[in-house]
Amino acid sequence: MHRLSARALCGLPGASPAALAAMFRACEVRLIIAPLSAGYHTTGAAWVAPVKPNLHRLANPRPTLEVESALDIAFGAKGKNLAGKPPQGHKLNQYERVIVNKAKLQGYLEMSRQCSDSACNRYLRYCWVRRRPYIAVNLYGNRVVVDLLPAAGVGKSANPVRVDRCIAGVQQVIDEAKLTTKRGILISNVGSKASSSISAPLGSDASKPDDKKVSDQFSLFVSQRKVALELSQKLWAWFTAEFAELSPEQLAEFKQKKYEVRKAKWESRMIRHLRRVAADPMLVKRVPKGSLDGFIKADAAGLVPK
């Protein structure tokens, strides 16, 4: 099927309405007219429509990966995509990559309109590897999805007691937040009566979460996006304080130290290479004339570290 823009159609020589109609019937030409403000982008002279977002995933950012699949992919198990089974998608686009990297620093995933299941699955894998809870805020800011199972870890370092400590600490944080929130916070545990009554009429008592205590997997319903973000920040702050995880400031400082170490190693390697070149007359002839004079003088004066 051919794609032509409005500009291309208008530029056809002798393009009358009858000719355009015949072209549409014969060639199945698709005309796409949309303003730039609608989020469309162009490739060449044709308009290309963006991928339609998954509104259900934006409203409920819960990963689609099973626990076994997430662990297999995270730790490099073979045969994760088997024939006859749907592949576990985890490739990110440029928008999802930025959002997931931001979630690694701030401790919770904040969904945007460009996100899909891949962003949730990739961040869940990261949480399993780093033994941290999965926290995600949906696009509309009225739901916070929490999964405490990744905090236990896997393999020899697995510790199920961490999940019990997380449940007790998260419950305390939510109870304190309820006292300061005017419209309250509703809890819906996975597999409970509230989460199994999705088909109930909207607004009825059967469709409202009625759980009082949290479990290892639950959702929090709030009235404002500001409340959802503050609650996510409090949950992550409690976890970092309880299990001595690195805060965003500490993580940035740790990365800066690693960068300085790598820079020092690179400088030391370059100094050794320049000294070897300056000591070999055959190698000196291969570099531009006078390019090593400054280094040789600084090295002779003792200004270059050993």
pLDDT of residue 251: 75
Q: Which of 161, 181, 176 is nearest to 238 (CA)?
A: 176
- Tell whether the torsion through CA atoms of 62, 63, 66 and 70 is positive or negative: negative
Strands (E), the chain: 3-4, 30-31, 41-43, 46-48, 109-110, 134-137, 143-147, 186-189, 217-221
Here the tokens at position 126 are 């990261």
Grade residue 83 by pLDDT with cuts at 50, 70 and 90. Answer: low
pLDDT of 22 reads: 60
pLDDT at 48: 39
Secondary structure class of 59 (helix, strand, coil): helix
Q: Which residue has the higher pLDDT, 75 or 29?
A: 75
**Per-residue pLDDT for 36 more than 80?**
no
Inter-residue contact 136 to 145 (CB < 8 Å): yes
251 versus 50: the higher-pLDDT residue is 251
